A and B are shown apart, each in its own frame.
Chain A
Amino acid sequence: MSHATETPADAPAILSEVRPALKPRAPMVGHGRSFSWITEKICGIAEEKTPVWWWWCFTAACIVASFTVAGLIYLVSTGVGVWGHRNPVNWAWDIVNFVFWIGIGHAGTLISAILCLLRQKWRTSINRSAEAMTIFAVICAGIFPVFHLGRVWYSWFLFPLPNSNIIWQNYRSPLEWDVFAVSTYGTVSVLFWYVGMIPDLATMRDRFASVGKTIRARVYGIFAMGWRGSGRHWSNYEMAYLILAGISTPLVLSVHTIVSFDFAVSLLPGWHTTIFPPYFVAGAIFSGFGMVLTLVLPLRAVYKLEDLVTQYHIDCMCKITLATGTMVGYAYLMEFFIAWYGANPNESFTFINRAFGPYWWAYFIMVTCNVITPQFFWFKGVRRNTALVFVLSLFVNVGMWFERFVIIATSLARDFLPSSWGYYSPSVVEIFTFFGTFGVFSVLFLLFVRFLPIMAVAELKAVTPQADPHSDVDAGAHGAARTGEHN
């Protein structure tokens, strides 16, 4: 106790010597935009008359999505043999696509949860659309393993529901862990997205009500839960949001870890490695940021959001892509090193086969896109060229799809016994079903852009300089004093 009382007396003497370093920070919102400008800009997107381009994109997306629908109808009515799986490659595009889409989702949770815990304010202008991306990506991901079951009407056997077979699921199997991981992930992502949106839905409710659009005000009002911006509510709300961020962080890490367990727990050379969980998580975040860039850059251009998604935001996203891409490259190298160092002939063969075997072209695409592409982001000139960043982000998406293909197909096609080796190529049905998921994703994303606030309006306002309650008092006295004394 005596200690505690003495410290304040001593503190000023020491503190007067200490000068916090002044580091100029890039503004989160360009041109010092006001609160009402932010509301008008974001809510205006969902309120305006549906633009013509939207209808064109929506129609195109629906046509593409119909490929998935047709492919699945054909699969269910005929049998899972319409896909190209044959012994020994019994996991192929379906699982590749599953891991690909799940991985994309991970950047959304990283942005909303991990960057929230790290107090990275730049997340506010991209988190809403990234979370939407997560949910839609999880929907696309879920299609593949469920339909790979063959008899999809029995997919409820995955869940611990009493059934006529009486026996329960095998909880020692990573595949069963995956069921829980992915369904928890989907549910928590939706909850997180929705909770984040409640204040903005209330804003839209009030805007519709004030222009007399009663029906829309009612609909948004129902989902806004009667939010009225009460200070007491904000206190609970912010705590709840923080806890959700806190639990989503271990969740997102666990989901891709468990996805990697699907492989790592097996005994197959090339799968049976301990590096898989961190390697998969880094890859997931890498691919997800690729997709965030692919989605946010066109949105920024179409809706002229340069003041909200500033160059600083693009720089941050490019740098994370660079960092995770480099981690992925390191993992590729380390896999090779361990295959050699482990002195297991099967393991070394698998890795030499990956790079120089029949699937060398897939390995080549993977390394080019995932290791070389992100290295361009070292250069400011590249990061400032939005069109180039967009193109590079597409390469990241392609590369990460091929990474999963390389891991899954090459290991299965050349396993232990040469007599059972094979070469896998996808069937037309498989290709169309995967192609169609981009349509499913786009349909959902276009609907999101049309009807919901695409950025977290309340959070964006909170990171503007004028939102700081001390800004109007301290700016004169403290601020000037600090800059003056800084040496």
Chain B
Amino acid sequence: MAEKPYGLIATFETPGALMRAAEQVRDAGYRRWDCITPFPIHGLDKAMGVGRSRVPRISLLGGITGFCTGMSMIWFMDSYDYGLTVGGKPLFSPLYAFPVSYELTILFTAFATIGGMFFLNGLPMHYHPVLNYDKIRRGTDDLFFIVIERVDPRFSDDNTRALLAKAGGADITEIEA
């Protein structure tokens, strides 16, 4: 496996240059490729052809779970397991159970959102071929990169290299897997 390179990486100096290049790579029909940027660039997801994030679905599931957990927990404790009459009021009512269920909704949503983000991003992943590139450390500082993977069906060493060069990429380099 070690002989086959992971793909090609090209460097860009400004967010604008990266964005225009990303549009070209997207329009060329590539699928297995990525941008590396030190900060989120507004509109880059569209330029990359990345759809709307699926994190909200996981968050919603988390929120529903949290609310149901709160309500059913309090119902179970106060009305089923050990009923305790407080102030002559009914054993269970969703009104007094609401504040706790509300907080649990938020708590579970937060965990689901962060867990969902990590899951969808495939993190934690401490090893990645891209990190082998010696200039990549400036990708969390002030440089911008486009990586096209070798496994992409449209990848061919010459054409992909030409595309990246035409899009304005500098230092087009092969990365080891």
Q: Which of B36, B123, B142 contacts A225 (CB under 8 A)?
A: B123
Identify which of B38, B96, B136 contacts A461 (C-beta below 8 A). B38
Judged by DSSP, the binding face of B is helix
Min distance, Cβ A260 to any Cβ of chain B, angstroms: 12
Note all chain B residues with C-beta closer than 8 A to A469: 15-16, 18-19, 41-44, 47
Give chain A residues whose Cβ lies under 8 Å from the Cβ of B141.
35-36, 39, 203, 206-207
B39 interface neighbour in A172, A239, A458, Cβ under 8 Å: A458
Cβ of B126 under 8 Å from chain A: yes
- A-contacting residues, B43-82, CB 8 Å: 43-45, 47-48, 50, 52-56, 59, 63, 73-74, 77-78, 81-82
Query: Which residues from B are CB-within-8-Å of A202?
Result: 140
Q: Taking the complex as formed, is A349 at the interface, i.e. its CB lies under 8 A from any CB of chain B?
A: no
Query: What does DSSP make chain A's interface, helix, strand, loop or mixed?
Result: helix
Interface check A104, CB cutoff 8 A? no
Q: Is the CB of B137 within 8 A of A240?
A: no
A210, CB-defined interface residue at 8 Å: yes
Q: Which A-chain residue is minimally distant from B47 (CB atoms)?
A: A469
Contact at A203–B38, with CB atoms within 8 Å?
Answer: yes
Q: How far is the CB of B45 from chain A (nearest CB, A)?
A: 4
- In Å, the complex CA distance between A199 and B45 comes to 18
Task: Given A180-B104, A466-B14, verify A188-B110 contact (CB < 8 Å).
Answer: yes
- Within 8 Å of chain A (Cβ to Cβ): is B121? yes
Docked-complex contact A251 and B106, CB < 8 angstroms: yes
Q: Which residues of B contact A231 (CB under 8 A)?
A: 22, 34-37, 41, 44-45, 48, 50
Interface code A195-228, partner B: CB below 8 Å = 1, 0 otherwise?
A: 1000100110111011000000000011001111
The answer to whether B106 touches A176 (Cβ under 8 A) is: no
Contact A473 B16 (CB under 8 A): yes
Q: Does A426 contact B (CB under 8 A)?
A: no
Name A459's closest neighbour in chain B (CB-CB).
B39
Complex partner residue of B16 from A39, A170, A248, A470, CB under 8 angstroms: A470
Q: Which of A160, A188, A209, A458 counts the most chain B CB atoms within 10 A?
A: A188
Query: Are A238 and B36 in contact (CB-based, < 8 A)?
Result: no
A451 to B56, CA, bound (A): 32
Given the known interface contacts A199-B39, A469-B15, the answer about A240 and B117 at a Cβ–Cβ threshold of 8 Å is: yes
- Tell me if A235 is interfacial: C-beta within 8 Å of chain B: yes
With an 8 A cutoff between CB atoms, is B107 at the interface?
A: yes
B177 within 8 A of A: no
Q: A184-B106, A184-B107, A247-B106 are in contact. Are A230 and B97 (CB under 8 A)?
A: no
> Smallest Cβ distance from A212 to chain B, in angstroms?
12
Beta-carbon contact of A458 and B123 below 8 Å:
no
| Contact in complex: A228, B86 (CB < 8 Å) | no
Q: Are B137 and A244 within 8 A (Cβ)?
A: no
* A234 engages B40 (CB within 8 Å): yes
A166 close to chain B: CB less than 8 A:
yes
Residues of A within 8 A of B125 (CB): 225-226
Interface string of A129-145 (1 = CB under 8 A from B): 00000000000000000
Q: Which of B34, B63, B106 has the most CB of A within 10 A?
A: B106
Q: State whether B37 touches A229 (Cβ < 8 A).
A: yes
Whether A232 and B14, one on each chain, are in contact in the complex, defined by CB atoms closer than 8 angstroms, is no
Complex contact A239–B38 (CB within 8 A): no
Kindly provide the distance from the CB of B5 to the nearest chain A CB, expressed in whole angstroms.
18
Q: A166-B82, A466-B14 in contact; A225/B45 too (CB < 8 A)?
A: no
Tell me the minimal C-beta distance from B152 to chain A in angstroms: 14
- Residue A462 is within 8 A (CB to CB) of chain B in the complex: yes
Q: A200–B97 Cα gap in the complex (Å)?
A: 40
- Which of A177, A205, A459 is most buried by chain B, counting CB atoms within 10 A of its CB? A177
Q: How far is the CB of B32 from chain A (nearest CB, A)?
A: 11
Q: Is A187 an interface residue (CB 8 A)?
A: yes
Q: A171-B97, A206-B137, A247-B110 are in contact. Are A239 and B53 (CB under 8 A)?
A: yes
Residue of chain A at shortest CB distance from B117: A240
Contacts of A225 in B (CB 8 A): 118, 123-126
**5 tightest Cβ-Cβ pairs between the two chains A and B:** A231-B35, A35-B142, A239-B53, A240-B117, A206-B137
Contacts A167-B84, A232-B50 supplied; 11 other A-B pairs, CB < 8 Å: A39-B141, A170-B84, A191-B114, A226-B128, A239-B52, A240-B55, A244-B113, A244-B114, A258-B99, A467-B41, A473-B16
Q: List 11 A-B contacts (CB under 8 A).
A: A210-B137, A225-B124, A226-B125, A229-B140, A230-B34, A230-B121, A231-B35, A233-B123, A240-B53, A248-B106, A469-B19
